[in-house]
């Protein structure tokens, strides 16, 4: 049974208060290649004003800042915004502002930004279409809306993947199918929809150390990944490297343009 909106928000704040620091430090979330791909996909110009939706510790926001006029980040978890402010100060960036809030009702005016962006957050949302509609609302006509997230490829793979991800991180709701995500963009009236793909490689143990399943859940996750070696029911290419289990989240960056 799906949690209520309030239950989900409590779960998010609980998980991401604990995850804020390890998430910010985990190398997989800041690889040069992955940040370069999102910066390219967004295609910033010096006049752009970008909203980073569910910005977490500001990894993407700080990567965008040197290329735009102003970057605004919003996230539900105050500890994530604390991390983001710290990162901004360390980087010496002065064109950024931060908000604590729920992205299902963005506290911004219609057409306030030239770009709305979100990474690795849609799978935590109970109603991704409603959040996408909010992102479209706050983007000016002819502006861009860009979402990067893990995607699934079949109902069977999605069921197996979502099950193990909820064990690892109970704030996981559901990874969207690729067609479903691009379909949301078209249904939201976005034009010139594009997709870019990359893989996010991580060792299972480093990811478990940065999230907070109980001991029994962590063991169940290890067992599920172990059983997936050479099988790939989870769709993440689980493999052994020097005795450690590694896998790859399939990521898509979907971009679209708001109709004039």
Ligand X SMILES: C[S@@+](CC[C@H](N)C(=O)[O-])C[C@H]1O[C@@H](n2cnc3c(N)ncnc32)[C@H](O)[C@@H]1O
Q: Shortest distance, CB of residue 251 to ligand X, whole angstroms? A: 10
- Measured CA to CA, the distance from residue 36 to residue 76 in angstroms comes to 26
Q: Which two tokens stand for residue 102?
A: 């729920």
Q: Which residue of this chain has its Cβ atom nearest to ligand X in the complex?
A: 56
Strands 176-177 and 139-152: parallel
Q: Which two tokens stand for residue 23?
A: 């998430």
Cβ atoms 258, 140 nearer than 8 A: yes
Nearer residue to ligand X within complex by CB, 76 or 208: 76
**What residues line the site for ligand X (CB under 6 A)?**
12, 16, 29, 54-56, 59-60, 75-77, 80, 102-104, 119-121, 124
Nearer residue to ligand X within complex by CB, 16 or 64: 16
Beta bridge partners of 42: none
Q: Shortest distance, CB of residue 47 to ligand X, whole angstroms? A: 24
3-state secondary structure at position 85: helix
Q: Shortest distance, CB of residue 231 to ligand X, whole angstroms? A: 26
Q: Shortest distance, CB of residue 156 to ligand X, whole angstroms? A: 25
Nearer residue to ligand X within complex by CB, 62 or 234: 62
Q: Shortest distance, CB of residue 260 to ligand X, whole angstroms? A: 28
- Measured CA to CA, the distance from residue 212 to residue 203 in angstroms comes to 16
Q: Shortest distance, CB of residue 29 to ligand X, whole angstroms? A: 5
DSSP secondary structure of 114-142: EEEEEES-GGG-S-HHHHHHHHHHTEEEE
Within the chain, how many helices (H) and strands (E) appear?
9, 9
Nearer residue to ligand X within complex by CB, 54 or 160: 54
- Measured CA to CA, the distance from residue 170 to residue 260 in angstroms comes to 40
Q: Which two tokens stand for residue 155?
A: 């109902």
- Measured CA to CA, the distance from residue 82 to residue 58 in angstroms comes to 9
Nearer residue to ligand X within complex by CB, 76 or 207: 76
Nearer residue to ligand X within complex by CB, 29 or 144: 29
End-to-end CA distance of the chain: 40
Q: Shortest distance, CB of residue 77 to ligand X, whole angstroms? A: 4
Nearer residue to ligand X within complex by CB, 213 or 239: 213
């Amino acid at each position: 049974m799906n949690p209520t909106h309030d239950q989900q928000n409590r779960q998010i704040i609980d998980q991401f208060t604990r995850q804020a620091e390890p998430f910010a430090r985990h190398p997989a979330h800041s690889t040069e290649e992955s940040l370069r791909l999102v910066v390219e996909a967004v295609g910033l110009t010096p006049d752009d004003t970008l909203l980073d939706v569910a910005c977490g510790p500001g990894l993407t926001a700080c990567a965008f800042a040197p290329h735009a006029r102003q970057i605004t980040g919003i996230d539900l978890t105050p500890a994530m915004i604390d991390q983001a402010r710290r990162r901004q100060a360390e980087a010496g960036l002065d064109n950024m502002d931060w908000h604590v809030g729920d992205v299902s009702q963005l506290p911004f005016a219609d057409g306030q930004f030239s770009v709305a962006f979100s990474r690795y957050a849609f799978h935590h949302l109970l109603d991704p279409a409603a959040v996408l509609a909010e992102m479209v609302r706050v983007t000016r006509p002819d502006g861009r809306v860009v979402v990067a997230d893990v995607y699934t490829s079949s109902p069977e793979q999605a069921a197996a993947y979502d099950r193990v991800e909820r064990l690892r991180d109970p704030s996981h709701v559901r990874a969207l199918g690729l067609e479903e995500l691009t379909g949301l963009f078209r249904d939201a009236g976005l034009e010139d929809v594009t997709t870019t793909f990359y893989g996010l490689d991580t060792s299972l143990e480093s990811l478990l150390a940065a999230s907070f399943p109980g001991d029994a859940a962590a063991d169940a996750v290890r067992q599920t990944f172990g059983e997936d070696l050479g099988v790939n029911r989870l769709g993440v290419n689980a493999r052994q490297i020097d005795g450690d289990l590694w896998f790859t989240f399939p990521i898509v960056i979907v971009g679209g343009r708001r109709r004039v």
